[in-house]
Structure 1
Amino acid sequence: MKGILTLLFCLLLTSLSAQEDFLAKQYFNDGEFEKAVVFYEKLVSENPRRTDFVEYLVRCYQQLEAYDKAIAMLQEMVDSGIANPTLYVDLGYTYRLSGQGEAAAPWYQRALEAIESNPNMGYGVGFKFQRYTLLEYALKAYRRAMALNPDLDFNFQIARIYGEQGRVDQMFEAYMALLVKRPATKPNVLRVFESFVEPDAENENNRLLKRVLLTQAQQNPDPLWNELLSWLFVQEGQFGAALNQEKAIYRRAEAAGLDRIFDLGRLADAGGEAEAANEAFEFVAKESGDPSQQLNARLFLIEIAFREGNYDREDALKAYEKLQEEFGYSPGTLQLQVAYAKFLTFEMEQAGKGVRLLKRGLDLPLSAYGEGYLKTHLADLLVYDRKFNEALILYSQVQKRLKNDVMGQEARFKVAQTSFYKGDFDWALTQLKVLRNSTSQLIANDAMQLSLIISDNSLEDSTQTALRKFARADLLIFQQKKTQAREILEEILSQHKGEAIEDEALLRHGMLLAEAGDYSGALLSYRKIIEFYSGGILADDAYFKSAQLYDNYLGEPEKAMENYREIIYRFQDSYYFPEARRRFRILRGDNLN
């Protein structure tokens, strides 16, 4: 019985201590240091070896400017021999805060000396110096610990300090040392590099990193340095130079596959660098022993050749037919069937042939995803051919079979979009309400935007005349009949001035003009949104798209900055805010480090 009572008493004390710890931290985090200090004084008196309690109490004293109390307590702990060496740093810094700066240095030195007998203290001491922004002392702590025990690695901490000090070249070198010891940290290191390099290859930080990497490659040849150089060239948009690095990796590293070169080709293609993309895909097509990868590369080559004018429609058609003969008709060539069918439909305007081609594929033994992929694209072709009901059946089948997958959610959005095209706005809204909580942010955003278009324009016009015209224009855009779409949008702008649909029509109209290279016309459409709908939900779109035209196509950085500035100061919740702020700062010449 006595033992049980003792146990219960101990548990009660533990519970009370935990509760006091919780309350103390709560008061500290809320900035109520007078209340926090009462609890921490009690906790430290009961647990003098708990360094965390001591540190919090010191911080409370510092905030309350009770420096004498902090010094007395820390000195007592040092004299009793129970002080962790990190408390030497606290003591020195408290002396400095109290105006006794000359008394600080000996305690900092004593903390460093503690590392001599126990290098493992290097992290704790270095971190404490960092907390007080005593960065040179922190560097000494980390370096000394590593010198005494080569198994320790504080290069990450050292690199961060160099970054804070603006010693960018030394920061890069420290990260290189980290990567040599721990290559698995590469993703984290690249995330840091992203905030230091710019698209401009002549940027000083870019040049520093390139120099450090080239030095490493000469001193210690390793595919890692080629990977990092490739990454840097991609940031600069130099895809050809990146490709040279990737080829070097492929030839030198036994385990290297062609996935990196294929992915680089896709990046170059998306970045408008057709020549580099073409070279990458040609390399993959020639070197790959994987039929699927080889097929994907050759499909990209056809697409690029057609888009760049190296193939006319007949050339591209023959190329697709050749691939069909070579690779056959199987579950492993669905990507070929879809690409061929889409070309027949959208470029040759032979939707019937495209539909028949994909319907034939449904007889193949397909997985759930393979079937969903094929049915979704088949439904797209049926929408092009205005066979809406048949398309809706296919989308609904995909949605039901893959309801918990992004493909299923995308199919549901296409149900809503197709219903919108055919004028069934109520059913479209029903589907869109479900999609607002989609796990895909892109689908959720698209669903919200389409939902607002329908609801805003149904309240004002019960006949939904303008909305039906807008839906028809959207369908024509999907069908890639953009001249006809522009004509309908211009009809809306002429016949429905001042109606809720006007800002949406102006935005679509501006986007089509920009795509056609009529930048002044696009800017005029965006300017009308800004002037007449400045409080509407599309104002930030108009400012951002205007800024992008001035920034990327018209070479007028001052006007680009004006538009980015509007987003920064008026639309902090906008999807475009982070990019607008980044571009504004770059154009202003800020150092983003």
Structure 2
Amino acid sequence: MNKFLHIIFFLFLYLSVDAQELDRAVQPANSDLQIAGQYFKQEEYLKALDFLEDLLENSRNIQAYEMGLTCYLALEDYDNAIDLAKDWSKRIPGQKNRFDVDELSVYLLTKEERKAERKFENILELITKQPNQAYFYGKALQDKGYPKMALQAYEEALKKESRLNFDYQMAQLYGELGDIKKMYDNYIAMVERTPGYLPTIKMFLAQGISADNPDDENTLYLKEELIKKIQAGGAPQLNELLIHVFTQENNFRGAFLQLKALDRRNAIAPGQLNSLAKIAFNAEEYTLSANIYQYVMEKGEADGFYQGAVLGHLSARKAEQSQKAETEPKDWANLAEDYEKYRRAFNGDPYQGEIILGLADIYAYRLNQQDTAAQILQGMFTKGFLGSEDIARGQIAYADLLLYQGKRWDAIIYYRKAEKLLERSPIGQEAKFKRAKAAYYVGDFQWSQGIFKILKESTSKLIANDAMQYSLLITDNMALDSTTEALETYAKADLLFYREKLDSALYYLALFDVAFPEHPILDEALLMKGDIYFKQKNFAEAERAWQKIVADHSKEILADDALYRLANLQINQFANSEKAMEYFEKIFIEYSDSFYAAEARNSYRNLRGDQLN
């Protein structure tokens, strides 16, 4: 045993000494490279080359090579740069492509055209003999910024071996060169050859196709080519690619027609129609969204996506009617009947929760049948087949209705119930925020302020932002007004606005001109006044209120909000692009930190482009 331990000890000692010797050999080289790197960063290239000399002559360290080549080029020592590339091409044959392209780039840099031509011809000759080398030379040429030469390299290889696949590389190069049609040809070839590329190609196309330019000749070309290939019996994935193109253009009707054609051949992915309907809904194409869902519903209840289609269909019709300037009561009554029909059909089904919420909303706020809405919502709380999320949403909807009816304390109770049911979820956060708002409406500002402060850290950006706005409103105005009378008046107007008692809200806001003409809350009152007039379609008064903020409260936090509203008013109600541009420009120049700054800049550019066209 002792003999064995002695052997182990001496072996360990030998290895330790050997490792130390190796460290001493490697350390100077590493040290030289580090010192050279420091001089290189300081652009002291001659000093850097002094420390690189041994590495460039004897090592295979690519970092040293790259640094040395750059030093020679910076010093315009082109002969040494060429010699270095040639020397390393022999030293590391496995990376010959890199060094050959470096040599070529020096000739091109120094405008030695004959030498450059000869070198490139040598590269093409090598590719002719070994077509696989095109992968490496093509990439090296592209990385150096020679897309045309890279394309030639790939084309030369394909002449000798047509089975090689450079579709992806060539698509990239055509894109760099601005030949978008050929880029699209290669994208199509990629999908035909390797269907697994479809998600990647979709991602690439999403970056280049815009709904703002439906007549773009390149996009038209892409669609024409896809349709030709589909009609000629091309790969099924080309259908999906065409649908994706239509969707990117917001041409949901074209996508729907293509999906229906696929559906008739049973060549459609499950749920694809419902997905398209949802995309159309999010783009506010409510009529088309409803029609797509209707198409799915017509497949019958046995279809796995039937229930989702019913919910989507009802929601799309509801959104469509809400979007209209005027909707007849009979239209809401007809929609309520359809909701009732499916409420009965889905009895005992978890999907019923969504239907109840939509139906209650129609009864409460469209048909003025608030007692019926309350009864329907209360019925949700005892349905065992509904999940806690639906019940919490029902409690929030019921609390909203109570608040709308002026029952503020009752509303607070139900917001709290929903909050406790889903404390840490987004729905629980929404309930907490609404409870704080209800407390604010009641006039208990300290209580509501405490909740708003907590919600400023909410995971929901929207809730966090709104909570911050209310927190600032209370903090700023309680600090300056010991009686909180102005804040109470504003809160009453805010609640009446929520309850759609618009004239009553305007009455309280008018008090500011008389009772609180110098109060800091005046800009908030003016913003709300403008919003109420806008809702009443009294656009001239809305404009006057918002303009007063810009004129008299330009240093206040709401000035950019007022400008943003004014700009959109000019576009949508007054058709005055010139004036809208003035307001947008003011936002991104004078309020560059504004939430609206980026959007204002884009809107300004779009309007300016329209005028130039």
Bin of the TM-score, shorter chain as denominator length: 0.7 to 0.9
Shift of 1:85: 0.8
- Residue 583 of structure 1 aligns to a residue whose secondary structure is helix
The residue aligned with 2:310 is 295
1:363 aligns with 2:375: no
Deviation per residue, 1:474-531 (Å, 9 max, x gap): 3334334455445544554665445332333333343444455444444444333333
User: Aligned partners of 1:531, 1:40: CA distance in 2, in Å?
Assistant: 67
More deviation, 110-119/278-287: 110-119
The residue aligned with 1:159 is 171
Distance 1:301 1:409, change over 3 A: closer
User: Aligned partners of 1:95, 1:2: CA distance in 2, in Å?
Assistant: 52
Instruction: State the TM-score, normalizing by the size of structure 1.
Output: 0.84
Deviation per residue, 1:363-417 (Å, 9 max, x gap): 2334443443333333333333344444434444544554443333333323333
The residue aligned with 2:363 is 344
Q: Is the 8 A contact 1:547 1:559 kept in 2?
A: yes
Correspondence for 1:334 among 333, 336, 353: 353
1:87-126 counterparts in 2 under 5 A?
87-116=99-128, 119-126=131-138
Q: Is the 8 A contact 1:92 1:106 kept in 2?
A: no
The residue aligned with 1:246 is 259
Q: Is the 8 A contact 2:104 2:116 kept in 1?
A: yes
User: Aligned partners of 1:149, 1:481: CA distance in 2, in Å?
Assistant: 77
Q: Is the 8 A contact 2:293 2:310 kept in 1?
A: no
Shift of 1:244: 1.9
- Residue 331 of structure 1 aligns to a residue whose secondary structure is coil
The residue aligned with 1:286 is 298
- Residue 589 of structure 1 aligns to a residue whose secondary structure is helix
Distance 1:189 1:588, change over 3 A: farther
Instruction: State the TM-score, normalizing by the size of structure 2.
Output: 0.81
Distance 1:173 1:518, change over 3 A: farther
User: Aligned partners of 2:242, 2:430: CA distance in 1, in Å?
Assistant: 37
The residue aligned with 1:443 is 463
User: Aligned partners of 1:150, 1:475: CA distance in 2, in Å?
Assistant: 73
1:476 aligns with 2:476: no
User: Aligned partners of 1:570, 1:367: CA distance in 2, in Å?
Assistant: 49
1:34 aligns with 2:53: no
1:202 aligns with 2:210: no
Q: Is the 8 A contact 1:217 1:225 kept in 2?
A: yes
Correspondence for 1:71 among 78, 82, 96: 82
The residue aligned with 2:66 is 55
1:314 aligns with 2:333: yes
Q: Which has the larger radius of gyration?
A: 2
User: Structure 2 unaligned runs (5+)?
Assistant: 1-12
More deviation, 145-154/557-566: 145-154
Distance 1:560 1:330, change over 3 A: same
1:418-497 counterparts in 2 under 5 A?
418-482=438-502, 484-492=504-512, 496-497=516-517
Deviation per residue, 1:344-364 (Å, 9 max, x gap): 222334444433323322223
User: Structure 1 unaligned runs (5+)?
Assistant: none
User: Aligned partners of 2:483, 2:89: CA distance in 1, in Å?
Assistant: 84
User: Aligned partners of 2:371, 2:54: CA distance in 1, in Å?
Assistant: 80
Deviation per residue, 1:18-41 (Å, 9 max, x gap): 88878887987xx54438946983
The residue aligned with 1:542 is 562
The residue aligned with 1:141 is 153
1:189-228 counterparts in 2 under 5 A?
189-190=202-203, 192-221=205-234, 224-228=237-241
User: Aligned partners of 2:263, 2:37: CA distance in 1, in Å?
Assistant: 54
Distance 1:68 1:235, change over 3 A: same
Shift of 1:92: 1.9
User: Aligned partners of 1:118, 1:430: CA distance in 2, in Å?
Assistant: 74
User: Aligned partners of 2:109, 2:508: CA distance in 1, in Å?
Assistant: 72
Q: Is the 8 A contact 1:547 1:564 kept in 2?
A: yes
RMSD: 3.8
Q: Is the 8 A contact 1:196 1:205 kept in 2?
A: no
1:174 aligns with 2:186: yes
More deviation, 474-483/332-341: 474-483
Deviation per residue, 1:568-593 (Å, 9 max, x gap): 44444433344333333333339xxx
1:325 aligns with 2:312: no
- Residue 96 of structure 2 aligns to a residue whose secondary structure is coil
| Identical pairs, percent | 30
User: Aligned partners of 1:46, 1:438: CA distance in 2, in Å?
Assistant: 61
Give the partner amino acid of 2:340: E
Give the partner amino acid of 1:356: Q
